[in-house]
Structure formats: structure tokens, C-alpha cells
Amino acid sequence: EIIELSCVVVDTARTTVLPVHFQRYVRPDQHPCLSDFCTELTGITQAMVDGGVPLHTALQDLDAWLRQQGLIGQVGGRCCSSRRCFSCCSTWRDWDLKVQMQMECKWRRIEQPRWQKRWIDIGAVWFKHSGKKGNLRASCEAAELGWDGRAHSAIDDARNTARWGWGGAASGGCAAGSGTWGLRSGKQGIVLDA
């Protein structure tokens, strides 16, 4: 089960991760007690998830936060700001959005937001251009970016993916994305013209 949902924003014009972020702990209901392995791997404690929210609430909160940031549009594709814009999700490999999120949304009968159905697989960009395989941490270190935070913490993984990925994404490295989208720089980060 998903136990943390996090998001950071990249400003491709300044090639930096912005100081805004979203983070929610998700309260699991099928397996409400975290294993020692899970806590050791993620750093997430039982108290954190006990104080968390259900997945559907976390997704609604994320959607509202993205709208507040001006990163996703209103109904009909009209943007929250005066410009037409769509945000672009980026992940390290496809697991989080293609497998885990889709599986859990289907199982829980939660409608997955449209913006969450396409993304840039930053790991695939790395593998394609470097020929090297590895996890996020190894790839950050190989790219001489170092590592910040704890591996498998969603917020730290999001920040490290963003730090690693802005260069590839900003230069049009979207060939590894899950769909064909045009990229351009926008007010708060990478913007997609769908």
C-alpha cells in the first residue's frame, strides 16, 4: 500500500528545485501496522501513518495543491492562470505511477487524475543516454550530484529525482515519457502542451 505521497516543483528556466513541496502520509487500511522492514527502509514510523489520511484524500489534497501552484488546469483544460498549461509528472522509473498508483486506484475504485496518466521516466532517460543501469541513488552519485536525504522516502526521492532530472527534461529528454507531449518552460516548471 502507498504510505507517502510527495511532489516537488522544478523551475526549468532557473534549473532549480523550488522551495515548495507537497507531502502527505497515507494511512494504510489493508495492512495498518508497518513492518520493521518498511520503517527501516523508508524512515516512516507507525505514528506518521496513523496520523495520515486515506489515499483518496491525499490525492485530492495533491490535486488542490497542484491547482494552487498553477501547475494543472481546470475542467476542460483551462489553466488556473491566464495561460494554457499542463504540468508534467516525472518519476524515477515507471513503478510508482504505472504500477503501484494504477493498481491501488483501481483496487480502491479511485479515479486516477488525467494529469497522472502521463509522465517522464527520468530513469529511462538516464539509461538511454548513459548506457548505465542503476537505482536513483547510484545514478545521482554517478552523475556527480551526490545524494540528499534518505532513499525510499518519497519526499527525498522526489527531490533527488528533480535534481537529477531537470537537465534531461529541460533539454527535451521526454522521448522516454509514457506519451507524446510537447515540453516548454512555464511559470513554475516544465509545462506540457497536450
For 18-70, how does the pLDDT look when each residue is reduced to its tens digit (9 = 90+)?
A: 888 999 999 999 999 999 999 999 999 999 999 999 999 999 999 999 888 88
For 103-136, how does the pLDDT look when each residue is reduced to its tens digit (9 = 90+)?
A: 999 999 999 887 787 788 888 877 877 787 788 8
Q: What percent of the chain has pLDDT over 90?
A: 38
Domains annotated on the chain, with CATH? 4-193 (3.30.420.10)
Pairing relationship of beta strands 89-91 and 119-121 according to DSSP bridges? parallel
Please tell me the distance from the alpha carbon of residue 111 to that of residue 56, in angstroms, as a whole number: 9
Name 69's Cβ contacts closer than 8 Å, sequence gap at least 6.
9, 20, 188
Please tell me the distance from the alpha carbon of residue 152 to that of residue 130, in angstroms, as a whole number: 23
Residue 153 has pLDDT above 60, yes or no: yes
Q: How confident is the model at residue 4, as a pLDDT?
A: 97
CA proximity to 7, closest of 96, 110, 82, 86: 96
Average pLDDT over all residues of the chain: 78
